[in-house]
Structure 1
Amino acid sequence: MEIWVNNDQEIVEFTEEHEELIRRVAERALELAGAGLGSNVSVSVTLVDDETITDLNRDHRGLASPTDVLSFSQLEGEDMGDLPEGEPVPLGDIVISLERCLSQAAEYGHSFERELGFLTAHGMLHLMGWDHQTPEDEARMMAKTEEILAGLGLSR
């Protein structure tokens, strides 16, 4: 699995340990929920501030407010065509607001790392086709997210 992590914000401290956490969570999510995808995939994770994610949320979802995580799947929509032999399948892009991550960690009473892991797992599940449009889907997605995090010592 190829994972590109880009820190495009300067408000919240982001360390190498945080980047490694994102990588571990993404790999575990693929392992536990990526049935049929194999391991030759790629994901981009971009870390932004609230202003940037507000702009993206407005432009792509019509909601002019900050959110915690956005996922842009490459597996939905238009056909990508044939990839060159051996090239990883691009799952898509995850965008996380580190400002929102920090405030939600405080609001929920857990660590920044737990919240960063949660948002990464949530974004990965969306890239792999999971959704939470119904209460049943929401419960299933939350349970899978908690399973991913528990295996990395990030349970509540």
Structure 2
Amino acid sequence: MDIQIIDETKIVPEAQIKLVEDVLEFAGQKLELAEDTEMSVTFVTNERIRQINQEYRDTDRATDVISFAIEEDPEEEGLPANFEELFDIPKNIGDLFVSLEKAAEQAETYGHSFERELGYTMVHGFLHLNGYDHIHTKDEVKMIPLQETILDEFGLKR
């Protein structure tokens, strides 16, 4: 996968960036995504993610991750459903905005390592970019076990 990492905070250690790249690459392989699939991850502060939540979700609080999936329907644009394949264009699945401050708070709250929480946050957002959801029980029973399987197999067990 082609993962663009943007660190707006300017303080994310290289080891954490590597963990993010590795866990997302692993998750992409589990979902059998094309090697040239594109996405971005932007690290932001709690205040910035709170602002994003306010603007796009009408929620005035910081969260660990916000996912912005690119859900274009090629056929609505008059293109064949597999136009990326036909024209050798990488598929961009979207963007994640992540607060490491919030992830650290949650790691402490849930009593597991920061690395586990960071992996959880990344995989959770990644699955949203790939059409998974957990709002309704019928969707949650697909997403959450897949998320746990990816984390366990990657080595980030509870």
Q: SS state of the match for residue 88, structure 1?
A: coil
Go from structure 1 to structure 2 and tell me whether the alpha carbon gap of 1:155 and 1:120 turns closer, same or farther (over 3 Å shift): same
What is the rounded CA distance, in whole Å, between the counterparts of 1:26 and 1:63 in structure 2?
Answer: 27
More helix by share: 2
Contact kept in structure 2, 1:33 and 1:125, CA below 8 Å: no
**Other-structure match for 2:119:** 117
Secondary structure class of the residue paired with 1:75: coil
- Which amino acid is 1:140 matched to? K
Alpha-carbon separation, structure 2, partners of 1:5 and 1:124:
14
TM-score, structure 1 normalization: 0.87
SS in structure 2 of the partner of residue 151 of structure 1: helix
1:26 aligned residue: 24
Alpha-carbon distance in 2 for matches of 1:76, 1:63: 25
Cα displacement string for residues 98-129 of structure 1 (whole angstroms, at most 9, x for unaligned residues): 11001000111111111110000001100000
Residues 103 and 77 of structure 1: CA distance in aligned 2, closer, same or farther (over 3 Å): farther
Equivalence map 1:3-18=2 (5 Å): 3-9=3-9, 13-18=11-16
Aligned pairs for 1:7-156 within 5 A? 7-9=7-9, 13-34=11-32, 37-76=33-72, 85-156=87-158
Q: Which amino acid aligns with 2:28?
A: L
Q: Give 5+ residue unaligned stretches, structure 2.
A: none
Ranges in structure 1 where 5+ consecutive residues have no aligned partner:
none
| Separation of aligned partners in 2, 1:119 and 1:76 | 24
Root-mean-square deviation (CA, aligned residues, Å) is: 2.1
Residue 76 (structure 1) shift: 4.5
How far residue 77 of structure 1 moved from its aligned partner, in angstroms, is: 6.6
- More moved, 139-148 vs 40-49: 139-148
Q: TM-score, normalised by structure 2?
A: 0.86
- Whether the aligned pair in 2 keeps the contact of 1:46 and 1:96 (CA below 8 Å) is yes
* Residues matched between the structures, number: 152
| CA distance, structure 1, for counterparts of residue 146 and residue 39 of structure 2 | 19
